[in-house]
Amino acid sequence: MSQRRESELAAHGFVREEGLHFPLTKRELTTIVAAALQEDDTRHDITTAATVTSNRRGRCNVVARQAGVIAGLTLACEAFEQLDPTVTMRIEHADGSRVGPQTSVMFLSGHARGLLSAERVALNFMQRLSGIATLTARYVEAIAGTRAHILDTRKTTPLLRRLEKYAVRAGGGLNHRMDLSSAVLIKDNHLAAVDGDIAVAVTRARAVAPPGIKVEVECDTLDEVRAAVDAGADVIMLDNMQLLDVREAVKLVDGRAVTEASGGITLDTVRFVAETGVDWISVGALTHSAPALDLALDFD
């Protein structure tokens, strides 16, 4: 796929290619972190209040216990700052950085009570997002040297989508559509509503979608791929197809649309899929099944 073609699709919601920019405004950041701190009732941390005097200060650092890719530092910093506005922090490895085991990610100095009460919220955000970034990086590494790109899906935690998709970018992946208004994606259940007529579905989509919005069609068979290409779809999703069929579909499309492989693709199989020549490989597991990265807060 040409750079021009990919940039065009990025401009219309299919793939987000911008650099690694934190996705929340300051107000949104403050709100989501405050809600997380309230959920943990950090203002009434009876354990810390019972064991740590109010004037006690502490120094600590966030440590990666295992190798991975860091994401979520902005959220962690906000958590510590909300409970101790005087805290000082020094980031050693920014979001998107690869770290090895026992690596110090950031150092903090401030009131011990604030540091201790904010610890779990800060680490929860970082462990979740760093886990996504780390798994994404593994998929990206697995297809290195091919033409394919790794994309996420909308299988995200409710209300955390922008953060989780940000973590995918931190790991070197790309974002598929952000929401239902970003692009048209005609799936099997949509096709059922038009008796499986792909041409009708595409025509109706183009009539209703805002100007410039691109259209993708999910295909299960090579016949559906032919129909989607003939209908003028911009992206052809090859859903749960066997490798031989994926390879044949890529040849059939012949650059007239972007090809996307999807469905049950694992780290063990992603390289084989990439070598078929597809443009994109979307993996729901990046966000719905990524294990948390093991991070800890160690006090001096």
258 bridge partner residues: 235
Active site residue 26: no
Catalytic site residue from 90, 147, 187, 298: 187
Active site residue 17: no
Catalytic site residue from 155, 162, 226, 256: 155
Angle at 156 between CA 42 and CA 182, to 5 degrees: 125
Active site residue 218: yes
Active site residue 260: no
Nearest-angstrom CA–CA distance, 293 and 101: 11
- Taking alpha carbons only, the member of 156, 196, 182 closest to residue 282 is 156
- Identity at 46, one-letter amino acid code: I
Active site residue 187: yes
Catalytic site residue from 5, 57, 98, 120: 120
Nearest-angstrom CA–CA distance, 147 and 258: 12
- 120's tokens: 């779990």
Beta strands 57-64 and 103-111, pairing class: antiparallel
Catalytic site residue from 152, 216, 218, 279: 218
Angle at 159 between CA 157 and CA 163, to 5 degrees: 75
Structural contact between residues 288 and 155, judged by C-beta atoms closer than 8 angstroms: yes
Nearest-angstrom CA–CA distance, 109 and 174: 36
Separation in Å, CA 14 to CA 132, 175, 262: 20, 8, 15
Q: Which residues are the active-site residues?
A: 120, 155, 187, 218, 239
